C-alpha cells in the first residue's frame, strides 16, 4: 500500500480479510471495508493499492471501475475508470503514483504501455496520457521528476523518465542489483528481481526499492548514483534455477516463501511488512501469515531488527488486519469478524 509517512490528517480505518499487495495478476485479492466498523462504509472486492489525496482516499482495484475516490469517513465520492484501450481507459494497472501536491494520479498500464494522468477533485478526470518504454511495476515523483522501476535494456534498478516527442523515454538509469545469485545476469531472473515496492524521499534525494520476492532493500542516492543494500532478516526468498531455456521457480526447503508487501520510512529504519506463502496460500493477497518489523539501515548493514507483530491469517476471513494511516501504517489483528474500530 502506498501510504504517505508523517502526520497526514486523515484517520482511515481499513478492515482487511487478507492483506493486499500491488498484485501483478487480475485475480481478486480480498475484501476491504472503508470507514470504521466492518458493517459500515464501502466494500471493495478487488483492492490492489490505495493512497491519500487532497480530496480523499483513492483505491485501486484489479478490475473495473479500477479507481474509486472515497472520503476519509468511507463515503464513495466517485467511481469509475472504464476497461478498454481508449483515452482514459485501462486494461490493467501495474502501478499508481500520486503527485507531490496530492491532486493528481499517474496510472501505469503495462498492457497498453501507457501512463495516464488523472486529476483528483470531487471526481477523477483524465488530463493526458503518454506511452512508456517499459512495464512499470512501481513509480514515484521526486522533485517533479518521474522515476520508475521495471525491466529495461539499461538494467538499472530505477529509471528517470522524461517526455520527448509526446512520449516518455528513459533518460537515466541508476543502480544495479547485486544479490550474489548465479542467475543475476539472466533476464528472466531480472524480471523477478525488479518486481518491487518503491519509496521516495525528496528531502534526502533518495529512493528505496524493495525487491518483493528476494527480500532486499536497496537505497539509491539520486545525486551520486551510490547504492547501499540490506537484506530483510528471516526472509525466505523464492529459489530460481534454469532448466534448458525455462526458469524454474520454487519455494524454500520448508515449502514456504516470503513477499514484501509494503515499506515505509521511520526515524530508526524502515518499517517492512512481509507476507508468507505456501502451497495453499499463494500470495498476491492470500498469505499464511504476516510479519511487521523495523529494519535498521545505516547504509551498509542492519542492526537489531524490531519485530512489531506477527499473526497467522485465516483463509475464511475469521481474522482480519485493521490498518490506520496516521501517523504511519499501523496494524492490529481482530478475531471473529468484530471489525475495525474507527481511529
pLDDT digits (tens, 9 = 90+) for 243-282: 888 888 888 888 899 988 888 888 888 989 888 888 877 7
User: How many helices and strands (H and E) does the chain possess?
Assistant: 1, 27
Q: Which of 99, 52, 90, 93 is nearest to 71 (CA)?
A: 52
Q: How high is the pLDDT of residue 64?
A: 80
| Span 320-338, average pLDDT | 43
pLDDT tens track for 43-96? 565 667 777 888 888 888 777 888 888 876 667 888 888 899 999 999 989 888
Q: What is the pTM of this model?
A: 0.75
Contact 104, 119 (CB under 8 A): yes
In angstroms, the CA 144 to CA 334 distance is 40
Q: How high is the pLDDT of residue 24?
A: 27
Contact 275, 293 (CB under 8 A): no
Model confidence at 333, pLDDT cuts 50, 70, 90, reads very low
More confident residue, 255 or 13: 255
| Span 280-299, average pLDDT | 76
In angstroms, the CA 176 to CA 226 distance is 10
Q: Look at residue 132 and tell me whether its pLDDT is greater than 90.
A: yes
Give the chain's mean pLDDT: 74
Helix (H) or strand (E) holding 145: strand 145-149
In angstroms, the CA 106 to CA 40 distance is 30
Helix (H) or strand (E) holding 116: strand 114-120
Model confidence at 154, pLDDT cuts 50, 70, 90, reads low
Q: What 8-state DSSP symbol labels residue 5?
A: P
Give bridge partners of residue 249 from the DSSP assignment. 240
Amino acid at each position: 500500500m502506498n501510504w504517505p509517512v508523517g502526520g497526514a490528517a486523515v484517520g482511515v480505518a481499513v478492515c482487511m480479510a487478507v492483506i493486499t499487495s500491488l498484485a501483478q495478476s487480475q485475480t481478486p485479492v480480498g475484501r476491504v471495508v472503508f470507514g470504521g466498523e466492518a458493517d459500515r462504509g464501502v466494500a471493495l472486492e478487488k483492492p490492489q493499492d490505495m493512497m491519500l489525496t487532497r480530496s480523499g482516499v483513492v483505491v485501486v482495484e484489479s478490475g473495473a471501475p479500477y479507481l474509486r475516490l472515497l472520503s476519509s469517513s468511507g463515503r464513495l465520492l466517485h467511481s469509475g475508470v472504464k476497461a478498454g484501450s481508449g483515452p482514459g481507459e485501462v486494461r490493467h494497472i501495474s502501478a499508481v503514483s500520486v503527485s507531490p501536491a496530492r491532486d493528481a494520479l499517474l496510472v501505469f498500464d503495462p498492457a497498453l504501455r501507457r501512463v495516464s494522468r488523472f486529476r483528483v477533485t470531487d471526481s477523477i478526470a483524465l488530463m493526458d496520457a503518454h506511452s512508456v518504454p517499459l512495464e512499470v511495476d512501481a513509480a514515484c515523483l521526486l522533485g517533479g521528476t518521474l522515476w520508475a522501476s521495471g525491466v529495461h535494456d539499461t538494467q538499472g534498478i530505477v529509471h528517470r523518465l522524461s517526455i520527448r516527442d509526446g512520449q516518455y523515454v528513459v533518460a537515466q538509469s541508476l543502480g544495479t542489483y547485486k544479490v550474489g545469485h548465479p542467475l543475476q545476469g539472466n533476464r528472466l531472473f531480472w524480471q523477478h528481481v525488479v518486481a518491487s515496492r518503491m519509496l521516495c524521499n525528496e528531502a534526502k534525494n533518495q529512493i528505496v526499492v524493495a525487491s518483493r520476492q528476494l527480500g532486499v532493500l536497496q537505497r539509491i542516492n539520486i545525486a551520486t548514483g551510490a547504492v547501499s543494500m540490506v537484506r530483510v532478516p528471516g526472509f525466505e526468498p523464492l529459489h530460481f534455477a534454469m532448466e534448458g531455456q525455462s526458469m524454474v521457480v520454487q519455494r524454500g526447503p520448508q515449502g514456504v516463501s516470503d513477499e514484501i508487501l509494503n515499506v515505509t520510512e521511520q526515524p530508526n529504519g524502515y518499517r517492512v511488512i512481509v507476507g508468507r506463502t505456501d502451497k495453499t496460500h499463494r500470495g498476491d493477497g492470500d498469505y499464511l501469515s504476516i510479519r511487521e518489523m523495523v529494519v535498521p539501515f545505516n547504509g551498509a548493514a542492519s542492526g537489531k531488527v524490531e519485530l512489531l507483530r506477527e499473526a497467522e491469517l485465516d483463509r475464511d476471513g475469521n481474522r482480519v488486519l485493521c490498518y490506520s494511516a496516521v501517523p504511519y501504517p499501523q496494524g492490529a489483528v481482530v478475531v471473529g469478524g468484530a471489525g475495525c474500530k474507527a481511529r
